[in-house]
Amino acid sequence: MRKFSTSGPNIPAKHYTIARTDLIKQGIELVNDERYFTIWAPRRQGKVHFFTCLKRGLKKIGYKVAVISAEDLQNTFFKQTFCFDHFSQPDTY
């Protein structure tokens, strides 16, 4: 029995999903044309799901796809190594 996804990734076999085939085709066309694009939407609007579907579509036509996320960058060693947090703090150096 499928349910609405309220957290985590959307899995079409488990969750109600709206197929965005036209939007995926448009994304593939942009990649084929070597165009940059961004996706903006509020939380829980399907951005990750879009890129997951786009990745599958691109792989089907022979692309090799790399997935990179900067979501947790602030919690990694980069924060300490590159001092990302010093911009929001008073001078302590």
Question: How do the pLDDT tens digits run along the chain, 93 residues long?
Answer: 888 887 777 888 898 888 889 999 999 999 999 999 888 888 878 888 899 999 999 999 999 999 887 777 666 666 666 655 555 555 554
Minimal CA–CA distance to 49: which of 23, 82, 73?
Answer: 23
Model confidence, pTM: 0.68
Q: How far apart are CA 21 and CA 79, in angstroms?
A: 38
Residue 47: what pLDDT?
87
Identity of the residue numbered 31: V
